[in-house]
Amino acid sequence: MNFQSKCPSALVESVFTKEIKVPRERVESSWQKLQRRETFVKGQFPPYKVEFDDKSQEGFFVTDELNIHHGPFLHLPAVLGRIESNYRDLKYLYGAYIISFRFIRPVRLEFFKKNDSIELKLTSYVHPWFKVIWPQMNKIFWAFFKV
């Protein structure tokens, strides 16, 4: 099934990566927190919200599970992809956007567990105006992301 379009001609692909250093003795417990719904559901500030297509908003993620992160200027419907011992994939669905569908379209968010860190890779389609600004916005946003 196709979840996302190819990059439209009016947009360009942007890939943001970040390595989050974690003490070796906490890598596994931090990784396990990233695999649970409540980590994202309970960590939101109103009016933003994360919801999962499951009766329980707690527990471990399941492959092909639908979810959405939404709020003002934010519409991020997604489906969980591969979930492995050192990798997790989140595929944003066609129609996902930040600010506007014409400006920033997140496509995929991947997490990688390493020996002393957790790395993330966010692939997005952005309007050329945001090619420089979007990575800077991500640096600020992900600076507050704790594992």
- Give DSSP secondary structure letters for 58-88: -SB--TT-EEEEEETTEEEEEEEEEE-SSEE
Domains and CATH numbers, the chain: 12-143 (3.30.530.20)
What radius of gyration, in Å, describes the C-alpha atoms of the chain? 15
**Per-residue model confidence as pLDDT tens digits over 78-89:** 999 999 999 999
How far, in whole angstroms, is CA 120 from its chain's centroid? 8
How far, in whole angstroms, is CA 56 from its chain's centroid? 20
**Per-residue model confidence as pLDDT tens digits over 15-59:** 999 999 999 999 999 999 999 999 999 878 899 999 999 999 999
**pTM for the model:** 0.94
| Per-residue pLDDT, 6 | 96
